[in-house]
Amino acid sequence: MKALLLICHGSRTQAGTEKAREFAEQCMRHIDYPIKEVCFLELSEPDIAKGVESCVQQGATSICAIPVLLLTAAHAKEDIPGELEIQQSRFPHIEFSYGKPFGVHESISSLLWERITEAADSFKEKSLILLVGRGSSDPDVKRDLKSIADQLENNYSIPQIETCFLTAAQPSFEEVLRLAGWGYEQVIVVPYLLFPGILLSGMKKVITEQARETGQELILCEALGYHPVLQEVLLTRIDETQRQQTVV
């Protein structure tokens, strides 16, 4: 019997955990698997081991594991596959396949544009859009976020767009925002985060302080959240994994 295991990152806050679970469960309503479970890489329960155990206890003979992560970095490349290898050794009779994060996908630009236009009625003559990723030491994260920014710029009539990061990568959000205080009337900050949480709260604080100092129009967009576009991308990743059967 086939099982689908959606692996979310996890959150330090109960609200963040519930948002992730709700997102995964809404997506799973559109997926025809006899067994469907949600688990978390870290910080939240159930962890991957418990998620796999639940699938096995329900009679799974194969498990399709999909990381519910925006970009491909160490979590997707090393941490989750490493844990799945441990589970494979625990349950050698189970066939495991492992999919990709959302990654770079053409349709995501439409969601970003929606978040931008929800927050900003119009652009000023000197406007800057900052696409802000969580960040990672993995160079693929910088490359992929830049590709997503390029797709957004190519698909819509937008002002200048720059990418930056909250942690573990350069340029940093605070540095780029500070530099944007020179010469831009309007800065639209687009958090490339699935859900609101501690990171988004920190961004709000930085933006409020700079707006007070510079008098600029600084606009913070909403996190991506549950959206039909992301649901469609996730369904695509699941379908790809079913067809390719990339065994861990």
Cβ proximity of 141 and 73 under 8 Å:
yes
Residue 123 and residue 44 share a domain: no
Greatest pairwise CA separation for the chain in angstroms: 63
185 and 87 in one domain? no
246 band by pLDDT with thresholds 50, 70 and 90: very low
Q: Do 208 and 141 share a domain, yes or no?
A: yes
pLDDT band of 183, cuts 50, 70, 90? confident
With bands split at pLDDT 50, 70 and 90, how would you rate the model's confidence at 247?
very low
- Are the CB atoms for 123 and 186 separated by under 8 Å? yes
Residues 214 and 116 in one domain: yes
Tell me the sheet residues that pair with 97.
64, 247
pLDDT digit string, tens, across residues 188-242: 999 999 988 889 999 999 999 999 988 899 999 999 988 999 999 999 999 999 8
What is the average pLDDT across 14-24?
90
The pLDDT tens digits for 42-72 are 999 999 999 999 999 999 999 999 999 999 9
Question: In terms of domains, do 179 and 239 share one?
Answer: no
Look at residue 67 in the predicted model and tell me its pLDDT: 97
82 and 153 both lie in a single domain: no
Work out the number of other CB atoms within 10 angstroms of the CB of residue 169.
20
pLDDT for res 245: 59
Domain with 26 in it: what CATH number?
Answer: 3.40.50.1400
Query: How many domains in the chain?
Result: 2
pTM for this model (two decimals): 0.91
Domain that holds residue 20: 2-103+227-244
Q: Are residues 116 and 205 in the same domain?
A: yes
Which helix (DSSP H) or strand (DSSP E) does residue 145 occupy?
A: helix 139-155
Edge-to-edge order in the sheet of strand 160-165: 160-165, 127-133, 186-192, 217-220
144 and 188 belong to one structural domain: yes
**For the chain, what is the mean pLDDT?**
93
Which of residues 35 and 17 earns the better pLDDT score? Answer: 35
Q: What does the pLDDT average to over 178-194? A: 92
Binned at pLDDT 50, 70 and 90, residue 248 comes out as very low
128 has a pLDDT exceeding 70:
yes
CB atoms within 10 A of CB 126: 12
CB-CB contact of 53 with 9 (8 Å): no
Distance CA 1, CA 55 (A): 10
**132/215 same-domain check:** yes
One domain for residues 183 and 152: yes
User: Do 187 and 234 fall within a single domain?
Assistant: no
